[in-house]
Amino acid sequence: MFSYDGMRQHVLADDEFEVLQQLVLDSSGIVLAESSRRSLLDYLSMRMYQLHLGCFQAYSERLLEDSTELLRLINAATQSYTTFCHDRHHFRFFTNTLLPELAKKPEQELRFWSVGCSTGEEAYSLAMVAQEVLPNIDEWDIAVTATDHDPEALSTAMKGIYPLSQVRHLPARHLLRWFRSLRIGNEEYVQISPALQQVVAFRRLNLLSDWTLPEPQDVIFCRDTLIYFDMPKRAYLIDRLADSLEPGGYLFVGESDRVDIYSDRFEALGNAIFRRCD
């Protein structure tokens, strides 16, 4: 017999972690950092208990045989914190500086892309803020593309249902206009309004696959995503992101992401905000 608590006491040895690193790298191109070892051990303990696997060797063999199980591991390893209007600096710039500039576009058409959108909060935030800030909003054609490799996260995003606790920090006017209250069992939730949902299109996408977007983007949010790739792949992806932007378009990345050392196609504006300059 074995227990979940007993498995949690197991230490993920160097050779075991290296096996996971290689499996994930070969499958997705994602590099598992040393800092992920602790959280991965918690996840592995839970999954081995659920699958009734008594040792790491049995679990690693399961990963080799079961692509769905490997995808679950990759999703667990790359899951990041997300909430509405996350990162005050980015959304302040987006709201107060960028949208007023984009409002001068004569064609009144805007395209935004949320890369690694997870459960959708960032994508809905972009749509919500744009609808609030742009003048004569009914005359604008706004489309937000939101992509992620995790089908479970995308399923949550498309439903647009979130715990009430995730939106308590938003202004009351946003809550009244863009969310409706729900009760599921004894818990309180909110659901994104249909008017906002129709602005956002979710799709599954592996950044290392042969992808294209149907049209250039005005703004790309790619935060806490590049850190999962090695340096050559980061350089490749940053170049692909530049190709996907309108000339003069804006790229928002994570605080630890360095764009300037990989590409000369961007001008740094501070606070991990870059503008395509080629």
pLDDT of res. 2: 47
pTM: 0.82
- Residue 90: what residue type? H
Q: How far is CA 195 from the centre of its chain?
A: 22
Beta bridge partners of 181: 190
* CATH architecture group of domain 88-276: 3-Layer(aba) Sandwich (3.40)
The pLDDT score that the predictor gives to residue 10 is: 60
CB-CB contact of 205 with 232 (8 Å)? no
Residue 57, Ramachandran bin (φ over 0: left; ψ between -120 and 50: alpha; else beta): alpha
pLDDT digits (tens, 9 = 90+) for 214-227: 899 999 999 989 98
Interval 201-221 mean pLDDT = 95
- List pLDDT tens digits, range 35-87: 788 878 888 888 888 999 888 899 999 999 998 898 888 878 777 657 788 77
Burial of residue 224 (CB within 10 Å: 0-12, 13-18, 19+) is: buried
- Which residues in 52-186 belong to E strands, given as ranges? 109-115, 141-148, 161-163, 179-184
The domains spanning 4-78 and 88-276 adopt the same CATH topology: no
Name the fold adopted by 4-78: Chemotaxis Receptor Methyltransferase Cher; domain 1 (1.10.155)
Give the residue among 96, 204, 88, 216 at the shortest CA–CA distance from 153: 204
Domain boundaries, the chain: 4-78, 88-276
Determine the Cα–Cα distance for residues 222 and 262; give it in Å rounded to an integer: 15
Question: What is the chain's length?
Answer: 278
**CA distances (Å), origin 237, targets 159, 212, 245:** 29, 12, 13
Q: What is the pLDDT of residues 138-169, one digit of tens each?
A: 999 999 999 999 999 999 999 999 999 999 88
